[in-house]
Structure 1
Amino acid sequence: MVRLTLDLIAKSRNHFKKKRGLSLPEYLKTLTHLHFSSKNIDDIGDLSMCRNLHVLYLYDNQITNICNLGFASNLTHLYMQNNDITHIDNLCTLQNLSKLYLGGNRIAVVEGLEKLSELKELHLENQRLAPGEKLHLDPMTLRSLSESLCVLNINNNNIDEFRDLKVLQELKHFSAAYNKLHNIEELEDVFIHWPQLLQMDLSGNPVRKKPKYRDRLITVCKSLKVLDGREINESTREFLVNWKACKEAKKKKNNKHGMTRPRILLPLSEDFNMGQGPHPGNICVHGNVQRWKPQPSLRSRIIVPTDLT
């Protein structure tokens, strides 16, 4: 297994060429990008001399814990997808972090991002979870990202509901493909809180089979340009919005007329004597058994508007 250290950086052919006669400490101070993807790295050592680091590439390794990054206050991009990370830890000092890539790990709960006030992109797709387990996004973390997060990718994480996401009012790109979302009313309730949403992908979810799925989301998401990889024609949106408005207006009109003339039920005259006779069955009169003849049913009714009574 491999530990990422200053010595490993110094021995790297890629970085050795860039030193150009500088001493190692001098070179490390000028370092802004560090590329160590696909190097079988399982641990991060002391990199505190790389204080000017802006971008760190550590994807496709075997890292289990996020650690020793407290020094990197200038870091803006962190690529750690396709590792073995189970918890999001030790990122609270990265207050300039703008893009965080953690897809393809083993994260079950998204938390620990409360201090990342500049985070604009969060990528969490394809977590390798236990059977039946789904990705959970901590409500406190979501609230802390509500004014900054613009891009969220939670593809393929067994998610079946996401009401808590409505606080992310700055979202412009949202991807939740190949999950288990099925409630279109819940989706509408969330999306109405995302006025800046431009692109959305819900491919592979059961909700896409609901009647008028695409039409309903287009009318709710006023600024949406692309849904499930297909562009939205503005004339189509205008037609759907007008159609929905007309439908709602007609419904209100019908309800209003229904309330102005309430209806009551009156019995027919032939039913007025009901309840006077014997109970159903055979009766005996002077020793003779006679069969009782039922009276007309109370089921017959006429409907009379109240203004005619």
Structure 2
Amino acid sequence: MSATELDRALHASVMKREAVKEAKSREERMRHEDEVKLGFGATEMSVAELKKVIDSDRRMYYRTLDLNDKLYIHYKGWRDIQNLEGWTGLKALYAECNAFDKIQGLQMCKNLRSLFLQENCIRKIEGLEGCTELWNLNLSSNYIERIENLKHCTKLNTLIIAKNKLGFGGVDDLVELESMDISSLDIQDNKISDPDVVPEVLSRMPDLRCLYMKGNPCSKRVPNYRKSLTVYCPHLTYLDDRPVFEE
């Protein structure tokens, strides 16, 4: 065998080994992608998937969609809130622990009173313009940086938005709370560092009765934290897991 033939044979052998390695690598990538899809978004929130939810518990759900006042779609791995147009009677939606990155698809859920969207991937409060009856909203453990677009939710009583990214923009991230009649507010474990949030926002919430604010940098910067909060918010009855007693 000549040197040229030997080089060609060696090259062919190398290319064959590389092809085998590439095929194996491609197979591993595809398997990994399939595993990811199984964990997040393996199925869409389709009409067919919602029908499976209904069929899973005939004692809880009606086949006529608008007769249902509650819907449990937690731990589904779904990415988009959709196909709820027929659920016009819905009052409580349990949609926690999915992969939702946007609040949407709730235009026809005008009777919604409780919405649970904790532990998702939401970055912005939006899509709630038609939910004027909303009473209880849980958005904890997401990636929200600002409280906004809640002015249409005039009946909102409880807002749970702990473990997000509020505070990087200063007091402006929470200023919309001033115009709301919220009674129970959970903003603990955020990034709120400006102590002015107490006099400039919280003190201007006359209906505030229950407040969770621990775990924020500002809680260590407010002098006499607990006493100051009760002075600025005289109607508080509960602060950070402890009742407020009249002195």
Common fold, TM-score beyond 0.5?
yes
Aligned equivalents of 1:134, 1:58: Cα separation in 2: 28
Distance 1:230 1:100, change over 3 A: closer
Q: Trace 1:93-104 onto structure 2 (pairs within 5 A).
A: 93-104=130-141
Equivalent residue number for residue 213 of structure 2: 176
Q: Trace 1:266-305 onto structure 2 (pairs within 5 A).
A: none
Out of 229, 233, 246, the position equivalent to 2:242 is 229
Aligned equivalents of 1:14, 1:123: Cα separation in 2: 31
Q: Does 1:195 align with 2:234?
A: yes
Aligned equivalents of 1:170, 1:155: Cα separation in 2: 19
Out of 55, 76, 79, the position equivalent to 1:39 is 76
Aligned equivalents of 2:215, 2:66: Cα separation in 1: 43
Q: Does 1:108 align with 2:145?
A: yes
Equivalent residue number for residue 150 of structure 1: 183
Amino acid at match of 1:32: D
Q: Does 1:69 align with 2:106?
A: yes
Aligned equivalents of 1:230, 1:19: Cα separation in 2: 37
Out of 1, 4, 7, the position equivalent to 2:48 is 7
Aligned equivalents of 1:63, 1:174: Cα separation in 2: 27
Structure 2 SS opposite 1:7: helix
Q: How large is the RMSD of aligned CA atoms in angstroms?
A: 2.7
Q: Trace 1:124-163 onto structure 2 (pairs within 5 A).
A: 124-127=161-164, 129=165, 133=168, 137-139=173-175, 141-145=176-180, 148-160=181-193, 161=195, 162=197, 163=200
Question: Would you say the 8 A contact 1:91–1:112 is kept in 2?
Answer: yes
Out of 156, 159, 163, the position equivalent to 1:119 is 156
Unaligned runs of 5+ residues in structure 1 are: 202-227, 238-309
Task: Report percent identity of matched pairs.
Answer: 23
Post-superposition offset of 1:66: 0.4
Distance 1:59 1:143, change over 3 A: same
Equivalent residue number for residue 263 of structure 1: none
Post-superposition offset of 1:19: 8.0
More helix by share: 2
Post-superposition offset of 1:184: 2.0
Post-superposition offset of 1:79: 0.0
Aligned equivalents of 1:96, 1:75: Cα separation in 2: 6
Distance 1:138 1:177, change over 3 A: closer
More strand by share: 1
> Deviations 1:100-125 (Å, cap 9, x if unpaired)?
00000000111010111100000010
Name the count of aligned residue pairs.
199
Q: Does 1:50 align with 2:87?
A: yes
Q: Does 1:92 align with 2:129?
A: yes
Distance 1:59 1:91, change over 3 A: same
Bigger relative CO (Cα 8 Å, ≥ 6 apart)? 2
> Deviations 1:18-73 (Å, cap 9, x if unpaired)?
489x7x4xx20211100010110111112111100000000011100000101111
Question: Would you say the 8 A contact 1:67–1:90 is kept in 2?
Answer: yes
Post-superposition offset of 1:4: 1.8
Find the structure with the greater CA-based Rg: 1
Aligned equivalents of 1:172, 1:8: Cα separation in 2: 40
Aligned equivalents of 1:81, 1:99: Cα separation in 2: 12
Equivalent residue number for residue 275 of structure 1: none
Q: What is the TM-score of this pair, normalised by structure 2?
A: 0.72
Aligned equivalents of 2:236, 2:112: Cα separation in 1: 27
Q: What is the TM-score of this pair, normalised by structure 1?
A: 0.58
Amino acid at match of 1:137: D
Aligned equivalents of 1:185, 1:13: Cα separation in 2: 52
